[in-house]
């Protein structure tokens, strides 16, 4: 009864206020007596409830209405990120007697191939830096990447100062986190790889063509230092995308490389393990478990001119890649020697994913599983095969020759975790033993972020 008595009073006040407002704002409006008013109490209650519903609708619309202009947040500098990499390797080596006579009985191993923790990011909008020490390799810790670079310079692109991978070879430019086999190919031994120096890189508008160049001290120690009287080097690399069809996940890559090396002090040296580095032991991690199967030794007063050609293509789940490298070495007393390396590899993804392509540095990326194990899927699985060779026998140099056949299985549990297995069969021909063979069974758990 109280509710019925009060509601007509409220309704009457609202209606009366509305009529009065209409009279004040609109001189031509009809007088309050002309307005149609609810007659009964039920009609007045229904009218009041309708007005409440309209007010609620107006309030809801006001809450959900988006802002007219979205204002992006300004990037704050320095903008620093943490990164890391952990590779735990295990390997079993089976040797024939000739191989044991030449290299000794190689131990099996289990431990850390890489253990890196680093930081990178932008100090200002264009000034970038990266610092990544490694706690598993020689030096413990030693520098893997330690550089600063200034980006977006008109007409130049990016300049970099510090220790990093030098521009020579597709295999060498592929980061350890993107490797499709446990180690790089045999021809990698002819690359200058990580040195401390000054370099630049640039590309055309759509990044289908790149060009990189660098000068550096040669050689650089595990701490990023090059200390000698006159040792230096230079390298250059250019890549191009010959064909690209994004809808078919197809891309064809070509590249050309050049490097000049003028070492000092101990001299020029080329050597290689059979595509499995194994681990390092001893104080400062100075002794490798896996010996070099081919080795020129130190070549005094020698300089080299190295040339490389690259060809690679991806089409859906299939990736093929190969390189040819030749190093022409000028020796003392006018002698010369030419060392050669090459590889061809094929990778097929059983779960259908396709390898992406890094347009800035011209190499293929690792897989990104469509159905990660953490989401109830099986991850991504791929099969890999590679044949590679390295010939360090020419002229007066008897460094030996080696051929490797490597078969692999990769399981990507997610974008940041993978398990790898490689079987490596190595044929080596080196004095004084001659032909010898070894089989290596190796695996890796790789985690990075």
> How far apart, in whole angstroms, are the C-alpha atoms of residue 186 and residue 299?
20
For residue 289, what are the CA distances in angstroms to 121, 284, 361, 392? 36, 14, 32, 22
Domain assignment present for 174 = yes
C-alpha–C-alpha distance, residues 408 and 424, integer Å: 9
Q: Are 364 and 314 in contact (CB under 8 A)?
A: yes
- In contact, 8 and 41? CB cutoff 8 Å: yes
Q: In this structure, are strands 271-272 and 194-203 parallel, antiparallel, or unpaired?
A: unpaired
23 and 133 co-located in one domain = no
C-alpha distances in Å from residue 34, one per residue of 29, 44, 108 = 10, 17, 104
Examine the domain organization and report whether 35 and 152 are in the same domain: no
CA-to-CA distance for 221 and 202, rounded, in angstroms?
Answer: 28
* Complete DSSP assignment for 112-180: EEEEEEEEEEESSSSEEEEEEEESSSTTSSEEEEEEEEEEEETTTEEEEEEEEE-S--HHHHS-GGG-S
Q: Which residue has the tokens 């008013």?
A: 37
pLDDT in tens, the chain (449 residues): 434 343 343 344 334 444 433 443 444 444 444 445 556 777 778 787 788 887 777 766 655 555 555 666 778 899 999 999 999 999 999 999 999 999 999 999 999 999 999 999 999 999 999 999 999 877 778 888 999 999 999 999 999 999 999 999 999 999 999 999 999 999 999 999 999 999 999 999 999 999 999 999 998 888 888 887 779 999 999 999 999 999 989 999 999 999 999 997 778 999 999 999 888 776 555 577 899 999 999 998 899 999 999 999 999 999 999 999 999 999 987 899 999 999 999 999 999 999 999 999 999 999 999 999 999 999 999 999 999 999 999 999 999 999 999 999 999 999 999 999 999 999 999 999 999 999 999 999 999 99
Q: Are residues 314 and 207 in the same domain?
A: yes
- Of 195, 141, 109, 215, the closest CA to residue 442 belongs to 109
Task: Classify residue 159: in a domain, yes or no.
Answer: yes
Longest dimension (CA), the chain: 123
Same domain membership, residue 204 and residue 135 = yes
306 and 323 Cβ atoms separated by less than 8 Å: no
| pLDDT one-digit tens code per residue, 286-304 | 577 899 999 999 998 899 9
Are 355 and 241 in the same domain?
yes
Residues 207 and 60 in one domain: no
Q: Quick count: other Cβ atoms within 10 Å of Cβ 319?
A: 23
Asked whether residue 78 is assigned to any structural domain, the reply reads no
Q: Please give the pLDDT value at position 285.
A: 53
Q: Please indicate, yes or no, whether residues 316 and 407 belong to a single structural domain of this protein.
A: yes
The DSSP annotation for 184-223 comes to --GGGGGS--EEEEEEEEEE-TTSSEEEEEEEEESS--TT
Q: Looking at the DSSP assignment, which residues form a beta bridge with residue 401?
A: 391, 429
* In a shared domain, residues 43 and 150: no
Residue 72 lies in a domain: no
- The whole-angstrom separation of Cα 134 and Cα 140 is 7
Same domain, 35 and 146: no
Closest by CA to 110, choosing from 447, 448, 441, 438, is 441
**What pLDDT is recorded for position 37?**
58
Structural Rg of the chain based on CA atoms: 35
Dihedral sign, Cα of residue 99, residue 105, residue 110, residue 113: negative
Asked which of 29, 64, 99 is the last residue of a domain, the reply is 64
Asked if residue 444 lies in contact with residue 88, where contact means CB atoms within 8 angstroms, the answer is: yes
What span, in angstroms and rounded, lies between the C-alpha atoms of 264 and 247? Answer: 51
Is the residue at 244 inside a domain? yes
Collapsed DSSP state (helix, strand, coil) of residue 290: coil
Number of domain units in the chain? 2
Q: Are 213 and 235 in contact (CB under 8 A)?
A: yes
Give the pLDDT score at 364.
97
Q: How many CB atoms lie within 10 A of CB 434?
A: 11
- What token pair was written down for 379? 């991850």
Examine the domain organization and report whether 264 and 368 are in the same domain. Answer: yes
Residue 71 domain-assigned (yes or no): no
What pLDDT does residue 282 have?
A: 63
Range of the domain at 440: 84-448
Cα distances from 133 to residues 120, 129, 188, in angstroms, run 12, 13, 22
* Domain-located, residue 70: no
Same domain, 34 and 101: no
Asked if residue 40 and residue 133 are part of one domain, the reply reads: no
Residue with tokens 């194994």: 278
């Amino acid at each position: 009864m109280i509710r019925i008595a009060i509601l007509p009073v409220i309704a009457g006040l609202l209606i009366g206020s509305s009529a009065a407002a209409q009279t004040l704002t609109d001189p031509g409006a009809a007088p309050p007596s002309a307005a149609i008013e609810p007659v009964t109490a039920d009609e007045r209650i229904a009218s009041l409830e309708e007005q409440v519903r309209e007010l609620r609708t107006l309030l809801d619309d006001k809450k959900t209405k988006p802002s007219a202009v979205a204002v992006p947040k300004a990037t704050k500098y320095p903008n620093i990120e943490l990164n890391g990499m952990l590779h735990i390797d295990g390997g079993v080596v089976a040797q024939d007697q000739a191989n044991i006579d030449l290299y000794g009985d190689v131990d099996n191993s289990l431990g850390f191939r890489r253990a890196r923790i680093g930081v990178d990011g932008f100090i200002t909008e264009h000034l970038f830096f990266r610092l990544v020490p490694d706690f598993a390799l020689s030096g413990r810790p030693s520098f893997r990447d330690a550089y600063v670079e200034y980006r977006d310079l008109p007409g130049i692109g990016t300049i970099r100062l510090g220790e990093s991978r030098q521009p020579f070879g597709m295999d060498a430019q592929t980061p350890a986190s993107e490797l499709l086999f446990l180690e790089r190919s045999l021809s990698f031994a002819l690359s200058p790889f990580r040195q401390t120096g000054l370099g630049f890189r640039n590309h055309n508008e759509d990044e289908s063509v790149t060009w990189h160049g660098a000068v550096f001290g040669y050689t650089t120690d595990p701490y990023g230092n090059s200390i000698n009287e006159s040792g230096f080097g230079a390298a250059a690399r250019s890549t191009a995308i010959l064909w690209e069809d994004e809808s078919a996940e197809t891309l064809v890559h070509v590249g050309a490389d050049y490097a000049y090396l003028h070492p000092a002090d101990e001299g020029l040296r080329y050597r290689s393990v059979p595509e499995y580095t194994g681990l390092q032991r001893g104080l400062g991690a100075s002794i490798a478990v896996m010996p070099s199967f081919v080795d020129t030794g130190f070549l005094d007063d020698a300089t080299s001119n190295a040339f490389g050609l690259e060809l690679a293509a991806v089409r859906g789940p299939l990736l093929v890649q190969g390189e040819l490298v030749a190093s022409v070495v000028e020796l003392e007393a006018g002698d010369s020697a030419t060392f050669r390396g090459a590889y061809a590899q094929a990778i097929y993804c059983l779960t259908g994913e396709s390898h992406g392509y890094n347009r800035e540095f011209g190499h293929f990326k690792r897989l990104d599983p469509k159905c990660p194990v953490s989401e109830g899927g099986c991850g991504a699985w791929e099969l890999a095969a590679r044949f590679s060779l390295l010939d360090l026998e020419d002229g007066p140099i008897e460094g030996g020759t080696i051929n490797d056949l490597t078969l692999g299985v990769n399981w990507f549990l997610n974008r940041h975790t993978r398990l790898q297995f490689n079987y490596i069969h190595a044929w080596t021909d080196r004095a004084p033993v001659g032909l010898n063979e070894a089989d290596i069974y190796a695996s890796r758990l790789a985690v990075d972020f």
